[in-house]
C-alpha cells in the first residue's frame, strides 16, 4: 500500500586532511609560489619607488600620482598576500588568507575605479556643452572609502557568520 513516504539516503564519509592541501617548504609549489611572489613584489615595488621618486615630473603629476601610487601599493600588498598560502591549514590561517587577499584586492582596485569615475566627471562625457569641473584629491579619496568599507563589512559578516575553516561541515536538510 502507498503510505506517502519519500526516502532519501545519505552516505557520509569522513575525509582526512591531505598533505597535498598545503604548501610547505621543500615542495615544488613552494618554490614556484616564492618565485612568482618575489618577481611580482620586485616589479611592483620598483614601479612604486620610481613613481614616487619622479612624482614631480609633469607626466607623473598629470597621471594623478596619489591614486596610482595607492594602486601600486595595493599591488605590492597583493603580491605579499600570496605568502599566506604557505603553511599548514589552520582555522586562523584560513581566516587570515580571506582577509588579506580580499582586502588587498579592494585596496588595489578602489583607486582605479575612483580615477576612472573622476575622469568621466571631469571630461564631461554625456554633456552637449562641456563644463569645466574640479574634483579635489580629498573628495576623490573619500569616494574610495565606500569600496573599502563595504569590503570590511562583507569580511566581518563572513568572519562571524560563516568563517573559513580548515574543515567544513556540510549539512543537507530537505523539509518536504
Give the model's pLDDT for residue 17.
56
Say how far apart CA 75 and CA 112 lie, in whole Å.
Answer: 12
Q: For residue 88, what pLDDT band results from cuts at 50, 70 and 90?
A: confident
Cell of 150: 563595504
Say how far apart CA 161 and CA 95 lie, in whole Å.
Answer: 12
pLDDT (average), residues 79-93: 90
Q: What is the mean pLDDT of the chain?
A: 84
Q: For residue 63, what pLDDT band results from cuts at 50, 70 and 90?
A: confident
Nearest to 48 by CA among 28, 29, 71: 71
pTM of the model: 0.74
Give the model's pLDDT for residue 127.
59
With contact defined as beta carbons under 8 Å apart, do 30 and 86 qualify? yes
With contact defined as beta carbons under 8 Å apart, do 17 and 11 qualify? no
Give the model's pLDDT for residue 62.
83
Question: What is the separation of C-alpha 94 from the centre of its chain, rounded to a whole number of angstroms?
Answer: 14
Say how far apart CA 93 and CA 164 lie, in whole Å.
Answer: 9
Amino acid at each position: 500500500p502507498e503510505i506517502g513516504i519519500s526516502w532519501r539516503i545519505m552516505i557520509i564519509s569522513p575525509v582526512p586532511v591531505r598533505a597535498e592541501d598545503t604548501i610547505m617548504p621543500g615542495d615544488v609549489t613552494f618554490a614556484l609560489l616564492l618565485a612568482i611572489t618575489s618577481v611580482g613584489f620586485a616589479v611592483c615595488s620598483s614601479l612604486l619607488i620610481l613613481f614616487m621618486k619622479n612624482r614631480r615630473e609633469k607626466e607623473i603629476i598629470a597621471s594623478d600620482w596619489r591614486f596610482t601610487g595607492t594602486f601600486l601599493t595595493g599591488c605590492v600588498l597583493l603580491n605579499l598576500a600570496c605568502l599566506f598560502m604557505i603553511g599548514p591549514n589552520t582555522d586562523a590561517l584560513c581566516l587570515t588568507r580571506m582577509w588579506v587577499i580580499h582586502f588587498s584586492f579592494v585596496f588595489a582596485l578602489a583607486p582605479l575605479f575612483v580615477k576612472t569615475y573622476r575622469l568621466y566627471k571631469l571630461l564631461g562625457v554625456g554633456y552637449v556643452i562641456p563644463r569645466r569641473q574640479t574634483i579635489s584629491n580629498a573628495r576623490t579619496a573619500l569616494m574610495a572609502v565606500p569600496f573599502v568599507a563595504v569590503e570590511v563589512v562583507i569580511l566581518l559578516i563572513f568572519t562571524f557568520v560563516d568563517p573559513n575553516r580548515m574543515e567544513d561541515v556540510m549539512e543537507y536538510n530537505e523539509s518536504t
